[in-house]
Structure 1
Amino acid sequence: MCRWLAYSGTPILLEELLYKPEHSLIDQSMHARLGVGTTNGDGFGVGWYTPDGPAEPTLFRGTGPAWGDDNLRELAHSVRSGLFLAHIRASTGTPVQQTNCHPFRHGRWLWLHNGRIRGFPTLKRTLMLAVDPELFPEIGGSTDSELMFYLALTFGLERDPVGAVERMVGWVEEVGHRYGIDHAMQMTVATSDGQRLWSFRYSSERNSRSLYCSTAVETLRTMYPENPVLQRVTEGTRIVVSEPLGGLVGAWQPIAESSYELVTPGMDVVGRFNPQSAQAGLPVPATVGANGG
């Protein structure tokens, strides 16, 4: 599987999270503690927003191991952002190529994922037939993760993010049942429109991959008044991670099973995640038959 992080808050250099922490994302690329495997060396990517930058987020992705990429280190040392998503990849079977590296981008939206669609080679064609024909040409790679993104866009991600992801998961599970595949979905997901950050933790068997959110800054300041980092960031700063970046006691809170978290400036919202029928959003194409054809 993969490891990822998403940051929203006071603008910081990317290296503050990618390289500097005790158990940074780069360290996790070699020594993951909570993933299926310890090494995540099948590519990497980072997408970031800047107030005075382009309308769309900027992407930097590579196919080699993150720990050995000098260009990533140089970039992380010079780019500052108040909202960015980063990912280190461990392939679940699709090729190691740049178009398969996360995050994925559509307009102002970014998307990254850890997990898999069980039986994806069997389900792939039927799932793809549900993608909006206007969006379909944008799909550049061959991963289940990117297809999940375009299904969520099809089911209304830009107007109803939580509902769209619930409909996407409902559709994947429905197609899985048609083919006799139980527990089709395993996911932790982060997505953003440049202003807000959503994270999701869900699996069909209710045994999802790990996901944590940083404790409220004001609470940590009380616990650690001498910590200089906590004095530099605003109270609304949040970090969502596949696994904690360090051992600071009380700094990380697990995100509950089958839930989502929305981070916006000045407000956090936590809610239950309940997959819905795809028919609750946009209708799936008539060409998708009852037998998956």
Structure 2
Amino acid sequence: MCRFLAWVGENRYLDELVFKQEQSLVEQSRNALVGKTPINADGFGLAWYSDHTNPCFYKDTNPAWSDANLRQLTHHTRSNLFLAHVRASTGTATSRNNCHPFGYGRWSFMHNGQAGGHNRIRQQLDAMIPANLYEHRLGATESEAIFLIAYGEGLETDPIGAMLRSVERVETLSRQSGALPYLRFAACWSDGESLFAARYASDRYAPSLHYRECEDGIVVSSEPLDGNCGNWNEVPVNTAIETKGSDIRIHPFQPKVSFVGRDVA
């Protein structure tokens, strides 16, 4: 599906993680080692925070490995908190508006996964986005919808609870459509101060998610960025994590889904 990473801690150049690791994000874009999709070539995106409240975004539809601007930008940009994503589409078009991370206000969000039957439920999914946020629905992915629904559920004051409620609503809708997999969800989101991530699936195939505690911060990644996997912690299924770059706080992330019809998951 997709691969992503995020950093929170001391300032560091983006290319240290995006390019310069053994299994960097760009390497994952052409040779992911974990997950069912080794090639993630349907665009990429960055979101990073600086002295301004809102993040800066850079996205394009090129494969990450072929974009010279990405190499230059990450080499010259430092940030204490950034998100980076390479995309493998599960059905929607390859366009800038469909590239992660997505943003609204001070928030940024990226996702690896899918909602089953997206084409069947897309109109109903859009209807879950509050009217005052709908003008910020720029793309066509379920990922962006999950983010905007979560914002409407109170992301500003309850970052994990709001995301959990959004996932519950989207999975309920997907179950009603009857299309498997109902929901697979590994995601990372931030307000520029804290970094949040969660891992969940309606079946036993939750997308991968790991983190590593470094001396100067914490990196979250779809898969370990180096061969020393003993230094990496796998985020358990049905779990969310929260950090400001030092301690990791663990939270349950177990949606309570209601649905109509027979459960065949």
- How far the C-alpha of 1:182 sits from its partner, in A, is 5.2
**Contact 2:9 2:244 survives alignment (8 Å):** no
Paired position in structure 1 for 2:74: 76
Partner of 1:96: helix, strand, or coil? Answer: coil
Task: String of CA shifts for 1:113-163, please: whole Å, max 9, x gaps.
Answer: 001111101111112111110001111001111111111111111111111
- How far the C-alpha of 1:207 sits from its partner, in A, is 2.4
Q: Distance in 2 between matches of 1:203 and 1:181?
A: 14
Paired amino acid for 1:247? G
**Contact 2:184 2:206 survives alignment (8 Å):** yes
Structure 2 length-normalised TM: 0.94
Matched, 1:258 2:256: no
Matched, 1:274 2:254: yes
**Contact 2:117 2:180 survives alignment (8 Å):** no
Paired amino acid for 2:238? S
- How far the C-alpha of 1:276 sits from its partner, in A, is 4.1
Paired position in structure 1 for 2:42: 42
**Contact 1:169 1:276 survives alignment (8 Å):** no
**Contact 2:150 2:163 survives alignment (8 Å):** yes
Task: String of CA shifts for 1:91-121, please: whole Å, max 9, x gaps.
Answer: 1111111000000010000000001111101
Pair 207,35 (structure 1): closer, same or farther in 2 beyond 3 Å: closer
How many equivalent pairs are there? 260
Paired position in structure 2 for 1:282: none
**Contact 1:62 1:98 survives alignment (8 Å):** yes
Partner of 1:86: helix, strand, or coil? Answer: strand
Paired amino acid for 1:272? P
Q: How does 1:1-20 map to 2 (within 5 A)?
A: 1-20=1-20
- How far the C-alpha of 1:277 sits from its partner, in A, is 6.3
Pair 162,206 (structure 1): closer, same or farther in 2 beyond 3 Å: farther
Structure 1 length-normalised TM: 0.85
Partner of 2:162: helix, strand, or coil? Answer: helix
Q: Aligned match of 1:190 in 188, 191, 199?
A: 188
Q: Distance in 1 between matches of 2:192 and 2:88?
A: 26
Matched, 1:139 2:137: yes
What's the RMSD between the two structures over aligned residues? Answer: 1.6
Identity rate, percent: 39
Q: Aligned match of 1:129 in 119, 127, 130?
A: 127
Q: Distance in 1 between matches of 2:36 and 2:44?
A: 17
Paired position in structure 1 for 2:91: 93
Q: Distance in 2 between matches of 1:60 and 1:127?
A: 26
Structure 2 gap segments, 5+ residues each: none
Partner of 2:131: helix, strand, or coil? Answer: coil
Partner of 2:161: helix, strand, or coil? Answer: helix
Paired amino acid for 1:248? N
Q: Distance in 1 between matches of 2:250 and 2:199?
A: 11
- How far the C-alpha of 1:79 sits from its partner, in A, is 0.1
Matched, 1:240 2:220: yes
**Contact 1:5 1:239 survives alignment (8 Å):** yes
Paired amino acid for 2:196? W
**Contact 1:167 1:277 survives alignment (8 Å):** no
**Contact 1:173 1:183 survives alignment (8 Å):** no
Paired position in structure 1 for 2:113: 115
Paired amino acid for 1:275? P
- How far the C-alpha of 1:183 sits from its partner, in A, is 4.3
Paired position in structure 2 for 1:153: 151
Paired amino acid for 1:125? Q
**Contact 1:186 1:208 survives alignment (8 Å):** yes
Paired amino acid for 1:126? Q
Q: Distance in 1 between matches of 2:12 and 2:245?
A: 16
**Contact 1:3 1:40 survives alignment (8 Å):** yes
Paired position in structure 2 for 1:287: none
Paired amino acid for 1:263? T
- How far the C-alpha of 1:165 sits from its partner, in A, is 1.1
- How far the C-alpha of 1:249 sits from its partner, in A, is 4.5
Partner of 1:9: helix, strand, or coil? Answer: strand
Q: Rg: which structure is higher? A: 1
Paired position in structure 2 for 1:283: none
Paired amino acid for 1:74? Q
Q: Distance in 2 between matches of 1:99 and 1:251?
A: 35
Paired position in structure 2 for 1:25: 25
Paired position in structure 1 for 2:210: 212
Pair 89,171 (structure 1): closer, same or farther in 2 beyond 3 Å: same
Structure 1 moving runs of 4+ over 6 Å? none
Q: Distance in 1 between matches of 2:245 and 2:207?
A: 27
